[in-house]
Amino acid sequence: MKYLSKRAASMDSVGTDCRELKRTYDECFNKWFSEKFLKGVTEDPCTALFKVYQDCVKKAIREKNLNLEEIETDVLGTEREKQPPPTT
């Protein structure tokens, strides 16, 4: 059985301009999670990278004329979390 390389197994970013940012953030997060978080270190050193990547993704979504409101709405911990998703 062939195994996918780490890079091939990861999901691509929504915007081509964001691909390298995503790769950099993923590497940072995966290293922190496996080497620090699982050993009790909860301070995430990748937060700034995530913010830059998130801004890039939001820009790409806007450029594709997609609605950002749904992804920016807080649902966890609210009554909306308990509701079934809307049907389209």
Tokens of 83: 């509701």
Residues 53-73 pLDDT 10s? 999 998 998 888 887 777 778
- Is residue 5 scored above 60 in pLDDT? no
Neighbours of 57 (CB within 10 A): 19
The confidence score (pLDDT) of residue 88 equals 65
pTM: predicted TM-score of the whole model, two decimal places: 0.65
Q: What is the 3-state secondary structure (H, E, C) of the chain?
A: CCCCCHHHHCCCCCCHHHHHHHHHHHHHHHHHHHHCHHHCCCCCCCHHHHHHHHHHHHHHHHHCCCCCHHHHCCCCCCHHHHCCCCCC
- Quote the pLDDT of residue 53: 95
